[in-house]
Structure 1
């Protein structure tokens, strides 16, 4: 495993996108998560800081940049430090405004 990398299912759970690790693993196995634009079907696929994940959560499509691997499933404020929500950047810019992702 690459230093600073973590299993995708574990990271999604630690970042509090899903209530259980098995739920996040199930979503990945169905091919519903993209890593840097490519579909992933292995929950053991590693993610590292700088990677971009795209997945559906409820009725929203989430576009998330991994900032840190995380050590545990902590409280929500701690979990929010693990990622940057790229959806929010695009929504705040308004329609028709080009927003650089990197």
Structure 2
């Protein structure tokens, strides 16, 4: 426990850990949460809850697109590794050879 106490005594560590915890909530959980809130708390139908979840999912597309575009240069390794420059290569790479196909 002493090791945890030393780490948490560093200023800002607790905030970063809490932010990391919140950032790991998957989007699918948010859809379920919205559905349950609309149906149980607001006394609406599952159809209306589905419309709200669909609208929130569509609403996240521009945010994720901008985040992906702005985070790309930050995530790239200084060495210029091809796997860091081309995310598709990371998903297509075979263990025994080069990428076999590229995704658009």
TM-score by length of 2: 0.23
Q: Which has the larger radius of gyration?
A: 2
More strand as a share of residues: 1
More helix as a share of residues: 2
By relative contact order (CA 8 Å, sep 6+), the higher-ranking structure is: 1
